[in-house]
Amino acid sequence: MQKKTLNNNVEMPVIMMGTSICDQKGSFRTLHRKMADMLSYAVQHGVIGIDTARDYSNEAMLGNIFKDLIHSHVVKREDLFITTKVGNGQQRVGNMDEQISISLKSLNIDYVDLWLLHWPLPDYYIDNWNQLCKIYKSGKVRAIGIANCRERHIVELEKAGVEMMPHVIQVEYHPFRTIPKMRDMCNERNIQLEAYSSNCLMLPFVRDNPTLINIAEKYCKSVTQVIMRWHVQQGVIPIFSSMNPTHIQSNIDVFDFELSEKDMDAIFALNIDYKFHPESLNCPGF
């Protein structure tokens, strides 16, 4: 898997795989088996970036799987890039050093590659961000950032005079929500932009979009692959989620073609600022 270098010289995979999908109905044993099979397949086929969060309630499950993969020599710990996040409930408690210890123990690892505040929770996130900066310097995490923020939150961090700015910002980003102001702000500050819901969950209006279909046919690729290539080519790191081996392979099979400038612009032109995850449902007072 190709990598990008963050502003602190840490290398991050250019494509990440999300794990919130294991927060689905079913017995723990069934979910564990499915997730173990998925991660084993993904890692053996080049996926080394794994994204999770405390609020996905799967850190312990993933920790057992990571332990098995590493002990069985399927992958080395240093070859994985593991992201987790601090949820709103943990932010209200406020002891970030305790929170990272809990995540490290659950994940069966000695350090996290990227640790994010899951939301810029009003009245809490600046103080907690300052704590993340201290923990980053301790070596327990290799990079820090914030998910689900807006431009104003970056400005507020700057006004607060924080010790360091985020290495990564993770937001909902796809062809139908291109947030140009946020993208420009991150580029100006050398902050890596990371996209969740990177293919807009392949909703019908995405899957059946004539522009995307025509571009996909032009390159003999799927619509999903065109979207993933669009992300990678502009320097944004997309997160995909799947438990289907064929889909996993398809999501990372995007390095053998290049979209023309005209096609890139045509995809950018699809922007309608569509947001699948409204902040009002996830972050009170946002």
Please, what are the domains in the chain? 3-202+236-241 (3.20.20.100)
Please tell me the predicted confidence (pLDDT) of residue 277: 87
pLDDT digits (tens, 9 = 90+) for 68-120: 999 999 999 999 999 999 999 999 998 999 999 999 999 999 999 999 999 99
For residues 127-137, give the mean pLDDT.
97
- The per-residue pLDDT for 279 is 83
45 — phi, psi (to 5°)?
-110, 20
Strands 11-13 and 3-5: antiparallel
Kindly tell me if the per-residue pLDDT of 243 is higher than 60.
yes
Per-residue pLDDT band at 44 (split at 50, 70, 90): very high
pLDDT for the residue numbered 22: 56
pLDDT band at 24 (very low <50, low <70, confident <90, very high): low
Structure tokens at 255: 């390095």
Tracing tokens 């990177």 back to the chain, one arrives at: 198
The whole-number pLDDT of residue 93 equals 92
Rounded CA separation 37/34 (Å): 5
The residue annotated as part of the active site, out of 56, 124, 125, 136, is: 56
CA angle 244, 22, 66 (to 5 degrees): 90
Is pLDDT above 70 for 23? no
124 is catalytic: no
